[in-house]
A and B are shown apart, each in its own frame.
Chain A
Amino acid sequence: MVTTPPVPPGRPDEQDDPTGIRALLAGLGDPGPMPADLVDRINASIAAEQQSRSAAGDRTVVPLRRRRPLWAKVGLVAAAVAAVAVAVPAMLGTGPGELMASLSRGGSSSAHDASAGAAKSSASGPEGAPTGADSRAAAGTGAIALASTGTAYTSTELTRQARSMLSQGFSAASSLKADAATNPQGLRGCLTALGVAPWMPVVGDVGTYDGRPAVVALVSGDTGQNVYAVGRDCDATHPVVIAGPVPVP
């Protein structure tokens, strides 16, 4: 026998329903609250959106408390320039020598020549034109290297996995899909849209994050490293962040 649950309380019965279907549908149950991991994911996306708007100088939303980007702080410039040239490769760990050498050059050369010159148009700082205090922004785009190992990254192991990214093999650019975050240029555009300064060196890996197709990107800034998990379709006009920035200790 089919049990007919009552129409939910507090709702006036706006329509006669001789079929009883309305009550059956109402009795299918509530899905419950949004899962915590999804709440975190969307909060991260909203934070990235906010950061992106501020960084892009979007006048649609004018921040009430405009925050100067960390990398633009006067006094950190010298240390930051050194970070690009010297410290970043050291922080990145014990990766292949070729990659380290590439990143330490701080230019657009990388494991993928296809990334050369990528995002040059976005080389200006988040506040618009590069400031005189930040020579890095004016120097051009940071190195970006992209692997496609298919690693299954997880939210619980992300920072550990990010640190070991460099020990994994790097595939040829030609095997990677163009025009999205699985392409060095697309990944750079994606990260720039998320507020990552164009000069920051990036090591990316195409895999999955908590079972979802993703590109995990390790970004080195002047105050340390952060890891992002972005959608494979993330690009400059459609920034899709799944997680991050997560500081890598």
Chain B
Amino acid sequence: MGTTPLHERDDRELLRQHLAGDPDAFGELFRRHRDRMWAVALRTTRNPELAADCVQDAFISAFRRAGSYRGDAAVTTWLHRIVVNACLDRLRRDKPTSPLPEYELADKRDAHASVDTRLDVREALDRLPEGQRMALVLVDMHGLSVLEAAAVLEVAEGTVKSRCSRGREAMAAMLRERSGQP
């Protein structure tokens, strides 16, 4: 086991090796998952500086709390949970001083409609309650399965499904309202 190259070890083995004192194992986990964790942090916070701080805090937290990993979910799910929680904690803490940017909903007749539509979608997403927003971020934007998202958010699968469904309906209503559709 000790002679297996780092890149050939699976995530669980790397975490075990890290706990056993291998000084390089956690670095390999970071290398392997950093882009996905960066993506989820950025999608959650929508602020590169904040996302950077959150993902750094999250990886250090994971380094220290590796012993809390129980093996009942994939290591990547466990990492997602730590990153998402770091982001949500930070967003809740910073909320009074750094509100989400106020966007004007776009006029669909504008020449830059596709760009503006993105802003519309993002703004509508921001307006959702946190639970619905995070379910949609993880499932629809980040590509996790409902099962994985449930594990990350530590809620039941059915809860994720209903949050996704309600969130999509609410967003659709917001976008319809803006475009003047019934």
- Give which listed residue, A30, A43, A45, A240, contacts B39 with CB less than 8 A: A30
Question: Which of A62-70, A80-88, A195-203 forms part of the interface with chain B?
Answer: A62-70
Number of interface residues of B (CB under 8 A): 51
Would A38 and B114 count as touching, CB distance under 8 A?
no
Q: Is the interface of A mostly helix, strand, loop or mixed?
A: loop
Tell yes or no: B108 within 8 A of A by CB: yes
> Could you mark each residue 132-147 of chain B with 1 if its beta carbon is under 8 Å from any beta carbon of chain A, else 0?
0000100111010110
Tell yes or no: B78 within 8 A of A by CB: no
Tell yes or no: B43 within 8 A of A by CB: yes
In the complex the two chains form, what is the Cα distance from A240 to B63 in whole Å? Answer: 13
Would A63 and B21 count as touching, CB distance under 8 A?
yes
CB-CB < 8 A to A2: which residues of B?
A: 108, 113-114, 117
Would B113 and A1 count as touching, CB distance under 8 A?
yes
Q: Which of A19, A20, A39, A63 has the most CB of B within 10 A?
A: A19
Tell yes or no: B99 within 8 A of A by CB: no
Would A61 and B18 count as touching, CB distance under 8 A?
yes
- Give which listed residue, A3, A25, A46, contacts B141 with CB less than 8 A: A25
Would A31 and B38 count as touching, CB distance under 8 A?
yes
Chain B residue nearest to A39 (CB atoms) is B34
Name the distance in Å between A62's Cβ and chain B's nearest Cβ: 4
Would A20 and B172 count as touching, CB distance under 8 A?
yes
CB within 8 Å of B: which A24-47 residues = 24-26, 28, 30-35, 38-39, 41-43, 45-46
Question: Which of B6-14, B69-77, B90-98, B162-170 forms part of the interface with chain A?
Answer: B162-170
In the complex the two chains form, what is the Cα distance from A150 to B22 in whole Å? Answer: 39
Tell yes or no: B27 within 8 A of A by CB: yes
Number of interface residues of A (CB under 8 A): 40
Tell yes or no: B19 within 8 A of A by CB: yes
Would B34 and A15 count as touching, CB distance under 8 A?
no
Would B38 and A38 count as touching, CB distance under 8 A?
yes
Tell yes or no: B121 within 8 A of A by CB: yes
Name the distance in Å between A126's Cβ and chain B's nearest Cβ: 15
Contact A21/B23 with A26-B141, A42-B30, A42-B56 known, Cβ cut-off 8 Å: no
Name the distance in Å between B52's Cβ and chain A's nearest Cβ: 5
User: A33-B35, A42-B59 are known contacts; what are 6 more A-B pairs with Cβ within 8 Å?
Assistant: A3-B114, A22-B140, A45-B59, A46-B27, A50-B26, A54-B23
A-B contact pairs, 22 of them (CB 8 A): A3-B114, A8-B143, A11-B143, A14-B146, A15-B161, A19-B168, A25-B121, A25-B136, A31-B38, A31-B43, A35-B38, A35-B52, A38-B55, A39-B34, A42-B56, A45-B56, A45-B60, A46-B27, A46-B30, A46-B59, A60-B67, A62-B20
